Amino acid sequence: MNKRILSFTLNGEPVEVEIEPHLTLLQVLRDKLELMGTKEGCGMGECGACTVLLDGKTVNSCIFPAMEVDRKSVTTIEGLTDAQGNLHPIQKAFVEYGAIQCGFCTPGMVLSAKAILDENPKPTEEEIRSGIAGNLCRCTGYLQIVQAIKAASGQQ
């Protein structure tokens, strides 16, 4: 198969990678770039575990064609901690509010939370719940996740 060069910005750094053009963004992240923080929960764009940010907006990377991110900017969970490895305030709040149990949905959930807060720094509870409705969690019942996002927005 003809390979193509995909160039994009990944977590603030330029990346060039040779890929088969049919690959999904998730496959490129996990299999080519070995960034294992982005999870595959369903592979059908239904559960949100694979959520990453593309130019600041959430996409389900498991069904997103990798070639579509060419010359765009992708943020994965690995890009949220700062250079010193300090947690992003949303990550901190997830830890402190018990928003994590098995943790499989967590990277996607955190990125959805980031997209909500980047667009709307003081969301209502309803806006938070709508904003993460595409991210399924089987463990927590969502309440502590909602509390964490509220706290990260300085509202708790």
Partner 1 sequence: MEEFINIGKRIPKLDAEEKVTGKAVYIHDLKVPGMLYGKILYSPHPHAKIKSIDTSKAEKLPGVKAVLTGYNIPPIKFGFYKDNVPLKANKVCSLRDEVAAVAATDLDIAEEALNLIKVDYEILPAIFDPEEAMKEGAPLIHEEHVGGKEKKPTNVLNLPWRLIAGDVEEARKNSAYVADDRFKVTWVTHCCMGTSGCVAQFDLKNNLTVYSITQIPSLEQRDFTDALAAMGLKGKKARVIKTMIGGGFGSKLDTYAFEYIAILLAYKAKKPVKIIFTREEEFFATSPRQPAIIDIAQGCTKEGILTFRDIKMTLDNGAYTSWGATTPSVMMMPISSLYKVPNVRYIAKCVYTNNTYCQAMRGYGNPQATFAIDSQMDILAEMAGIDPLDFRLRNANMPGDVTPQNFKINTCGLRECIDAVAQKLDWRQVRGRKDGRGVGMASLIHVGGGARVYKSDGCGTIIKMDDFGTVNVFTGATDMGQGSETVIAQIVAEELGVRVEDVVVTHSDTDICPWDVGAHASRTTFVAGNSARGAAKKVKEQLLEVAGKSLSESPENLDIRDRTIYSKKDPEKKSPLGKVLRAAHYTAGGSMVMAECFYDPNNENLDREFKGNLSLTYAYGTHGVEVEVDKETGQVKILRYVAAHDVGKAINPMLLEGQVYGGATQGIGYALTERLILQNGKVMNPNFLDYKMLTAKDVPNFETIVVETNDQFGPFGAKGIGEPGLVPTAPAIANAIYDAVGVRIKDLPITPEKVLAALKEKTNPK
For binding to partner 1 (CB under 8 A), which residues are involved? Answer: 30, 35-44, 46-47, 49, 76-78, 80-81, 87, 91, 94-98, 100-107, 110, 128-130, 132-146
CB of 16 to partner 1, least distance (A): 22
- For the chain, the first-to-last Cα distance in angstroms comes to 53
Which residue stretches of 6-142 are H helix? 25-27, 89-96, 106-119, 125-131
CB of 58 to partner 1, least distance (A): 14
Residue closer to partner 1 (CB basis): 7 or 125:
125
Residue closer to partner 1 (CB basis): 71 or 87:
87
- CB neighbour list of residue 61: distance below 8 Å, 6 or more residues apart: 24, 25, 26, 29, 38, 50, 51, 52
Report the alpha-carbon angle 43-45-50, nearest 5.
70
Residue closer to partner 1 (CB basis): 16 or 34:
34
CB of 7 to partner 1, least distance (A): 23
8, amino acid identity: F
Q: On the CB side of 140, how many CA atoms lie within 13 Å of its CA?
A: 23
CB of 67 to partner 1, least distance (A): 18
In three-state secondary structure terms, 34 is coil
Residue closer to partner 1 (CB basis): 9 or 27:
27
CB of 49 to partner 1, least distance (A): 6
66, amino acid identity: A
Residue closer to partner 1 (CB basis): 69 or 99:
99
